Amino acid sequence: MSGDRRNIERLTDEDFASVRRMRFGRLPARVMPADLIETAETDAPRDEVEQPLVRREWG
């Protein structure tokens, strides 16, 4: 068994890349860091919380 391993050719990085492309296809385009999160502009936080008009809304 160990004798069989000595006769096997060593694959290069290009060989591994071609086997990977045949097996899995091409990789999708790289995602830019700015596209990783979605940002939304919001209003500044208010200091005081509005009081409910009716007691049952206090929850």
Q: Using one digit for the tens of pLDDT, what is the confidence trace for 43-52?
A: 877 777 676 6
**Per-residue pLDDT tens over the stretch 1-29:** 455 566 577 889 999 989 989 999 988 88
In a domain, 12, yes or no: yes
Query: What DSSP character marks residue 14?
Result: H
The reply to whether 8 falls in a domain is yes
pLDDT value for 14: 93
Distance CA 20, CA 16 (A): 6
Residue 55 in domain: no
* Residue 6 belongs to some domain of the structure: yes
* 14 inside domain: yes
Question: What domain range includes position 19?
Answer: 1-25
Evaluate the CA torsion angle 20, 22, 25, 26 in order and state its sign: positive
What sign for the dihedral angle of Cα 30, 33, 37, 39? negative
What's the total number of domains in the chain?
A: 1
